[in-house]
Amino acid sequence: MPVFCPPDFSRVCAGLLLSASLLLAACGESGKEVPVVAEQAPQVGVARFDGLRFFPEREAPATVLGKNETRLAAEVSARIQSIAVDVGDEVVAGQVLIRLDARDAELALARADAALAQADARLAQAEAQSKRAAALQEKNFISAEAVTLRDTELAAAVADRRAAAASLATARRGVEKCTLRAPFKAIVRARAGQVGELTSPGTPLLTLADISELQVVAQVQASDADLLEQATRVEFVTARDRLPVQPLRVSSAVHRESRTVEARFGFAPSVAIPAPGSEGRLAWRDTRAHLPPELILRRNGKYGVFVVAEGVARFHELPAAQEGRPAAVTLPDAAEVAVQGRHALQDGMRVRLAEKP
């Protein structure tokens, strides 16, 4: 039946008919997705990546140690006569530290000296007899066999003299071993020997820490070794100072239990070097840009951040990220990272940018 619309209500009827037709069309195509208008897209606040990133300071426990730490021991068995130093004393290379009772060694030196004198006398006699035999042979007064015998006696005397000289040198070394000297500039770290004790070869008497070339020794996590080598500035940090250090070497051998590697650094020439044994930490800046942990989100079991470009939020995955910890991120400086409204985002979602204050 046709709908009658008075002239005054023609526009109203037309509107009603249009609404009814749209309602019927919607009911007939209920399976189709209704497009989201721009006003319904979630609003997010963004910030440039270069304004959010930071370069965290990494660290590892470290100690100031000498290049050498020597346990000074006697090479001979003798009684300790005197000890010239105590714990904490600083010594220079060649300084006398311990004297042992050298009387037995000196007696052995005297015997060796006398033996050398005897060998010299026998050698002189053998040389004279050899010369006389050669002169008599020219006049055919002795046989060739007699000359050979004199030459043999001379050779034996020469050998005896060499042996006596070696014995004398050994005896001198025995006397020298009764005086223990500092092998390098050092600080006495420990003293085990006591005056009057009888030493035995190899038993430590003093412990010396080399201070001629002090180094910072740190145990660094194996995963940080490459980052440490790339660092532009490394410091040894104590309760009072931050001292710049220079790289010497980073070991490639990984400690089995701690999974760390040893790193050694030297002090700059102008730095006031701490005492050996000083403890602190090795500190350096990570060369990789990081984002704070509160910006890291989890989607489908993976961690990452949302980057907004051309009105679309994209999930930028961070494979090495861990919950609650800053994560290394590689993004362009101008990349816009979602900072507000980020928790409601999904990859590929269209968004509206909040006006910046």
User: Would you state the structure tokens that stand for residue 128, as one six-digit string?
Assistant: 């004279």
If you compute the radius of gyration of the chain from its CA atoms, what whole number of angstroms results?
45
Burial 53-68 (b: 16+ CB within 10 A, else e): beeeebbbebbbbbbe
Tell me the pLDDT band of 15, cut-offs 50, 70 and 90: very low
Question: Where would I find the H helices in 46-141?
Answer: 49-52, 103-138
Pick from 249, 248, 294, 287: nearest CA to 268: 248
Q: What are the CA-CA distances from residue 146 to residues 88, 122, 128, 139 (Å)? A: 71, 18, 14, 14
Give me the residue label for tokens 């990081």. 290
Q: What is the pLDDT of residue 77?
A: 94
Which of 3.30.420.40, 2.30.290.10, 2.40.170.20, 2.40.50.100 is the CATH number of 70-101+178-209? 2.40.50.100
Taking only the tens place, the pLDDT of each residue in 193-244 is 999 999 999 999 999 988 888 899 999 988 888 888 888 899 999 988 899 9
Percent with pLDDT over 90 in the chain = 64
In the chain, domain spans? 38-55+290-353, 57-65+212-285, 70-101+178-209, 103-176
Which amino acid is it at 155? A
Residue 10: pLDDT over 90: no
Question: Where would I find the H helices in 141-246?
Answer: 144-176, 225-230
Taking only the tens place, the pLDDT of each residue in 71-87 is 999 999 999 999 999 99
Looking at residues 48-57, what average pLDDT do you find? 94
Exposed/middle/buried for 356, CB within 10 Å: 0-12, 13-18, 19+?
A: exposed
Specify the pTM.
0.58
CB 163 within 8 A of CB 188: no
Tell me the pLDDT band of 39, cut-offs 50, 70 and 90: low
Which amino acid is it at 221? Q
User: Would you state the structure tokens that stand for residue 189, as one six-digit string?
Assistant: 């770290």
Tell me the pLDDT band of 69, cut-offs 50, 70 and 90: confident
φ, ψ dihedrals at 356, nearest 5° = -75, 140
CATH topology of domain 103-176: Helix Hairpins (1.10.287)
The size of the chain, in residues, is: 357
Residue 129: pLDDT over 50: yes
Which of 3.30.70, 1.10.287, 2.60.40, 2.40.420 is the CATH number of 38-55+290-353? 2.40.420
Mean pLDDT of the chain: 86
φ, ψ dihedrals at 199, nearest 5° = -85, 160
Tell which wins on pLDDT, 13 or 241: 241
CATH topology of domain 57-65+212-285: Elongation Factor Tu (Ef-tu); domain 3 (2.40.30)
Local structure of residue 129 (DSSP, 8 states): H
Could you give the angle at the alpha carbon of 295 between the alpha carbons of 289 and 298, nearest 5°? 110
CB 290 within 8 A of CB 55: yes
